Structure 1
């Protein structure tokens, strides 16, 4: 006898749903698979891996885009609906000292971004670095290229400490076609969600383990 599907909120084309849970050695990924099956509905196939390893549903279930990320014991799942092939990306990072933040920026970020970080007061530099990092990761995870595509190829500005798309190179562009939104999850976490297309309302839920 199959288990009843998990109850999930109605998800329309003007929303992105974010689920937060504990990772607990991979238990979060199991919870996310159950949530995704509930969103996909009857007959949902197993989650597959795309050409570059990104988790996805095959057609005709590919109108449901999703992505997950974890850092430490915190895990996030982002889900959205759109046209066939709709994609969403999410990234979360735990705030901890990163002595090599500027070194990493010089190596992987666009030069203008590194200059922005250098110009920040030292107390704000780590936050700026993580804000840029999570925004870049969210976009590249939605795109499917991941880190191998090149973090420097999706550059941002930081007006008011908010990552704003600047110049995106290659097939990830153009930058104005993207929506990148920070997720306010409390002290100790920096996170962002990204998708192409129109503005959407982002709703955050908690999945208890």
Structure 2
């Protein structure tokens, strides 16, 4: 699924690109990526209490900037972002390239599309969390029922399938945590396709949105949501060695 990218990036209209980066691979990247960040991003980085979280933010934002720079053929440090009232980022003076980013532990995913809203989420599969308790607070009635119906050894994966699909969808919609997670339903059974099954607010929403499952690495679950039926999704590995940034 995950491939080395071509030298020249071409993103077609009915295509999505998802990039994977393992932050554990290069402990020297932080200094290089710092050079790409804006003053506002540097201020945000300094506010993190723990060095691990600060490093993740710096490298993830640097990766995002370097990729946008490659798609738009501009200096990554010159990119300016704007934010919706719910905090969804966009590129200032460019409404064509849409993107989203997610990270969990050492894994970062960046997703890109043209003109269509897109959301991505990745989560480390923590086997120790109480999936039924969390589901009871956030999932729809049918999702809770479907989760409980799974064999015990599939419930953790089923939970993270559901969680990442919901997160990817609300990130694509762009309304953040104000969006009620229990007002729409997604598939969750391991081995079945990722799908938006229903929403409480728009009967036609299911036909407008596509969902895709991915495995970024062992012990991680990823999901993609896009407001279009894309013809192809390409999965690229990001080389985060310093020389790859320029």
Bigger RCO (CA 8 Å, 6+ sep): 2
Out of 44, 47, 61, the residue aligned to residue 81 of structure 2 is: 47
Deviations 1:146-204 (A, max 9, x none): 23201112212346433321112336961221000011323211001111122331111
Q: Contact 1:143–1:172 at 8 Å: present in 2 too?
A: no
The answer to whether the Cα contact below 8 Å between 2:212 and 2:223 also exists between their aligned partners in 1 is yes
2:17 is matched with which residue?
17
Task: State whether residues 210 and 227 of structure 2, in contact with CA within 8 Å, keep that contact through their aligned partners in structure 1.
Answer: yes
**What is the alpha-carbon distance in structure 1 between the residues aligned to residue 187 and residue 22 of structure 2?**
31
What residue is the counterpart of 1:33 in the other structure?
A: 65
The ranges of structure 1 where at least 4 consecutive aligned residues each deviate by more than 4 angstroms after the TM superposition are 42-45
Gaps of 5+ in 2: 1-6, 24-54, 241-246
CA contact (8 A) 1:14 1:200 kept: yes
CA distance 1:139–1:175, shift in 2 (3 Å)? same
Deviates more, 1:30-39 or 1:108-117: 30-39
Shift in Å at residue 15 of structure 1? Answer: 1.2
1:103 and 1:8, CA in 2 relative to 1: closer, same or farther beyond 3 A?
farther
Check whether the contact 1:135–1:163 (CA below 8 A) recurs between aligned residues.
Answer: yes
* C-alpha contact (below 8 Å) 2:184/2:198 kept by paired residues: yes
Q: Which moved more, 1:18-27 or 1:187-196?
A: 18-27
Partners of 1:31 and 1:96 in 2: how far apart?
Answer: 25
Report which stretch shifted further, 67-76 or 141-150: 141-150
Give 1 or 2 for the bigger CA radius of gyration: 2
Going from structure 1 to structure 2, the CA distance change for 1:48 and 1:173 (only over 3 Å counts) comes to farther
- Which residue of the partner structure matches residue 208 of structure 1? 239
Q: Which runs of 5+ in 1 are unaligned?
A: 1-6
TM-score (ref. length: structure 1)? 0.87
Number of the residue aligned with 1:169 = 200
Show the 5 A alignment for 1:1-209: 8-23=8-23, 24-26=55-57, 27-42=59-74, 45-59=79-93, 61-82=94-115, 86-158=116-188, 160-170=191-201, 174-209=205-240
RMSD of aligned C-alpha atoms?
Answer: 2.1
Q: Please state whether the residue corresponding to 1:161 is helix, strand or coil.
A: coil
Distance in 2, Cα, partners of 1:106 & 1:172? 24
Separation of aligned partners in 1, 2:186 and 2:180: 14
Cα gap change, 1:8/1:75 in structure 2, threshold over 3 Å: closer, same or farther?
A: farther
Distance 1:161 1:134 in 2: 15
SS of the aligned residue for 2:166 comes to helix
